[in-house]
């Protein structure tokens, strides 16, 4: 490495790290095959912040195995051997991998390649079918760590053999690795699945795989999220609709989902006819629009639908709340004229920014995805649409990048990405232009001159799936919800039983204001009650003893340890109400 890592551009750093991690995966495969001679290597790519390799072995790897593999990897790295690639014919390649059915299958999929490359490092003891992308030598893998093991089906297909995957990470320095492992530890503390259980928000049961059951606490939060969005809908002039859950398959054929989304849908038979369970709201929104005749005066028409959706996600990709099979989303479809697109999208991005600030998400980044190779609509329409989206981002001075070929087949789109409290980036909101839906459903409006014109459809979601958003929010806030979102906003802690009557009076006063309040009447000592309230992450604790009773006050303790002694109930009620009303 002729230039120091610190002097690299961000793009150069990313490429270097990717090559280093690819090299680390190669070294790991060599170590595994030396320790387990019967192991068959399959695929081992670099991934975000790390790498993995899948192996066909007799037994799953154990923590002790990982320690042994790590030691041997370090020995290989210390030799500082050069990485060397060689090009061979396909015929020779098949001979080299004749005992590995996985590598043979990879070669068979490389139909257009007359030659392929194998990589090793200069000791020549291990060679792997590989396209390349390595650092110069093993010694450039400065700091690495094997993280975990997991089962993984070959090619991600559950009909194939289960392999054993080892995940690892590699960095340019020990300091960088330490920073990363600290982030991982913090992420584990914030894991929404653990916090969801400890805070009694939701649970999963095999009786309904990847479909969450929301407990009362979790339901409070979901209802508050929905109420928040609906309040914005009133401000931004959306109209809510409710549409069915199940539609005859003819609808899904007409919309294109039967052709392009079949494997992700659930189907049922009713009266010997096939019906599909709704995976998204778009076709239903088209039917609502088509149910009436519309003139140019009706547009833009903003239709919002919180309907529950179901998608047949494969079990290997489901994950807590962030990838589920049953969910609802703040979905809406805007039917408008072509010359209204810019104003409507600008207005939506304003709403999106407003909402993200409410949830303490900063530094929003946008991605503008441009026309894919397979698309509908003529080039002039695409040119103008992409120009409109770019102009909106430029005028508002939003940070954004452009992704060629990543737009939807029906139009370009803007996706919103936000970093959470520990720097992980999440894609949340999206806004997409659609020229296909009006064509497929013969949607029209009557123009001022009496002619019939096709509207444009804007698909948009702000929070997206409420389930997924809640999972992200739990981890972002580490479960410390703001007062307006907290399932329990205030808990009263009487020091002894003689303070219960006064505590009940305070309880009634706050309950009458619709504050979510409880009294801890347990036999625990006061400090234990405070500790329990902190574990439940309740924003406010009211401590009530003799002084508070005699002065008609409460002593307030927040979950982060701040204390205010003997504050009047009116003053603290005003403060709590203000936080709820203003959502902070």
How far apart, in Å, are the Cα atoms of 443 and each of 114, 303, 456?
Answer: 50, 15, 9
**Residue 197: Cβ-neighbour burial (10 angstroms; 0-12, 13-18, 19+):** middle
Helix (H, G, I), strand (E, B) or coil at 217: helix
pLDDT of 436 reads: 86
Q: Could you tell me the sign of the dihedral formed by the alpha carbons of 25, 28, 33, 38, in that order?
A: negative
Contact call for residues 550 and 538 (beta carbons, < 8 A): no
Contact call for residues 426 and 470 (beta carbons, < 8 A): no
**Residue 61: Cβ-neighbour burial (10 angstroms; 0-12, 13-18, 19+):** buried
Contact call for residues 44 and 53 (beta carbons, < 8 A): yes
Contact call for residues 81 and 179 (beta carbons, < 8 A): no
Residue 536 to residue 333: CA distance in whole angstroms? 38
Let me know if 191 is a catalytic residue: no
The catalytically annotated residue of 21, 413, 460, 529 is 413
pLDDT of 455 reads: 96
The catalytically annotated residue of 325, 459, 476, 529 is 459
Tokens of 521: 């009447």
Residue 221 to residue 479: CA distance in whole angstroms? 11
Let me know if 282 is a catalytic residue: yes
Helix (H, G, I), strand (E, B) or coil at 422: coil
The catalytically annotated residue of 165, 282, 476, 559 is 282
The catalytically annotated residue of 121, 145, 165, 333 is 333
> Cα-flanking dihedrals φ and ψ of residue 463, to 5°?
-85, -25
Contact call for residues 51 and 169 (beta carbons, < 8 A): yes
Let me know if 459 is a catalytic residue: yes
To the nearest 10°, report the CA torsion of 230, 231, 232, 233: 50
Helix (H, G, I), strand (E, B) or coil at 6: helix
Render the burial of 288-308: b for 16+ CB within 10 Å, e for the rest. bbeeeebebeebbbbbbbbbe
Contact call for residues 554 and 517 (beta carbons, < 8 A): no
H helices then E strands: how many in the chain? 18, 29
Q: Which DSSP category does 60 fall into?
A: -
**Average pLDDT by stretches of 10, the chain with 584 residues:** 78 93 96 95 93 96 96 95 92 93 93 87 82 92 95 88 96 95 93 96 96 98 97 96 96 89 92 95 96 97 96 88 95 96 94 94 93 84 90 91 89 93 91 91 96 96 96 96 98 96 97 97 94 97 96 95 94 96 92
**Residue 521: Cβ-neighbour burial (10 angstroms; 0-12, 13-18, 19+):** middle
Let me know if 333 is a catalytic residue: yes
pLDDT of 123 reads: 67
Let me know if 413 is a catalytic residue: yes
Tokens of 428: 């949340």
Residue 576 to residue 345: CA distance in whole angstroms? 35
Max CA separation in the chain (angstroms) = 93
Smallest Cα–Cα separation from 407: which of 374, 368, 373, 371? 371
Residues linked to residue 333 through DSSP beta bridges, in sequence order:
303, 459
Tokens of 418: 């936000």
The catalytically annotated residue of 54, 305, 331, 434 is 331
Q: Could you tell me the sign of the dihedral formed by the alpha carbons of 128, 131, 133, 136, in that order?
A: positive
The catalytically annotated residue of 121, 311, 460, 468 is 311
The catalytically annotated residue of 130, 325, 329, 537 is 329
């Amino acid at each position: 490495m002729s230039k120091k890592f610190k002097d690299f551009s961000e793009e150069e750093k990313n490429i270097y790290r990717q090559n280093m991690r690819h090299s680390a995966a190669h070294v790991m495969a060599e170590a595994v095959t030396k320790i387990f001679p019967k192991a068959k290597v399959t695929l081992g790519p670099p991934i975000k912040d790390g790498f993995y390799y899948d192996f066909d072995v007799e037994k799953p790897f154990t923590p002790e195995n990982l320690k042994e593999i790590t030691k041997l990897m370090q020995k290989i790295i210390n030799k500082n051997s050069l990485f060397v690639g060689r090009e061979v014919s396909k015929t020779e390649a098949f001979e080299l991998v004749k005992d590995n059915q996985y590598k043979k299958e990879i070669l068979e999929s490389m139909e257009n390649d007359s030659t392929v490359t194998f990589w090793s490092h200069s000791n020549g003891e291990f060679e792997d079918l590989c396209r390349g992308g390595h650092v110069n030598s093993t010694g450039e893998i400065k700091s690495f760590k094997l993280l975990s093991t997991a089962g993984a089906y070959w090619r991600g297909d559950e009909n194939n053999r289960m392999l054993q995957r080892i995940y690892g990470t590699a960095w340019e320095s020990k300091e960088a690795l330490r920073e990363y492992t600290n982030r991982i530890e913090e992420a584990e503390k914030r894991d929404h699945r653990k916090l969801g259980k400890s805070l009694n928000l939701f649970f999963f049961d095999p009786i309904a795989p990847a479909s969450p059951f929301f407990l009362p606490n979790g339901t409070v939060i979901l209802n508050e999220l929905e109420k928040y969005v609906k309040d914005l809908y009133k401000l931004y002039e959306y109209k809510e609709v409710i549409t069915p859950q199940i539609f005859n398959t003819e609808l899904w054929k007409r919309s294109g989902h039967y052709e392009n989304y079949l494997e992700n849908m659930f189907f049922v038979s009713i009266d010997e006819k096939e019906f599909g369970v709704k995976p998204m709201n778009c076709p239903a929104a088209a039917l609502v629009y088509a149910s009436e005749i519309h003139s140019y005066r009706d547009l833009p028409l903003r239709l919002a639908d919180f309907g529950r959706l179901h998608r047949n996600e494969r079990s290997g990709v489901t994950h807590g709340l962030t990838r589920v099979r049953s969910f609802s989303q703040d979905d809406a479809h805007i039917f408008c004229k072509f010359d209204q697109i810019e104003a409507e999208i600008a207005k939506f991005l304003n709403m999106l920014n407003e909402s993200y600030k409410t949830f303490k998400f900063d530094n929003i980044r946008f991605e503008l995805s441009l026309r894919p190779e397979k698309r509908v609509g003529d080039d002039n329409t695409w040119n103008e649409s992409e120009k409109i989206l770019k102009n909106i981002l430029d005028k508002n001075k939003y940070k954004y990048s452009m992704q060629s070929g990543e737009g939807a087949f029906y139009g370009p789109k803007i996706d919103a990405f936000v970093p959470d409290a520990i720097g992980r980036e999440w894609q949340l909101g999206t806004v997409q232009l659609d020229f296909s839906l009006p064509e497929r459903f013969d949607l029209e409006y009557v123009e001022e001159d009496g002619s019939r014109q096709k509207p444009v459809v804007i698909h948009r979601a702000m929070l997206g799936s409420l389930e997924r958003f809640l999972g992200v929010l739990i981890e972002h806030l580490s479960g410390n919800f703001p007062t307006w979102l907290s399932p329990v906003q205030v808990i009263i802690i009487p020091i002894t039983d003689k303070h219960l009557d006064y505590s009940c009076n305070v309880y009634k006063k706050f309950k009458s204001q619709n504050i979510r309040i409880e009294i801890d009447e347990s036999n625990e000592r006061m400090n234990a009650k405070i500790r329990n309230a902190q574990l439940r992450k309740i924003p406010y604790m009211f401590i009530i003893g003799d002084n508070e009773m005699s002065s008609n006050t409460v002593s307030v303790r927040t979950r982060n340890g701040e204390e205010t002694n003997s504050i009047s109930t009116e003053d603290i009620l005003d403060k709590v109400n203000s936080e709820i009303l203003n959502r902070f």
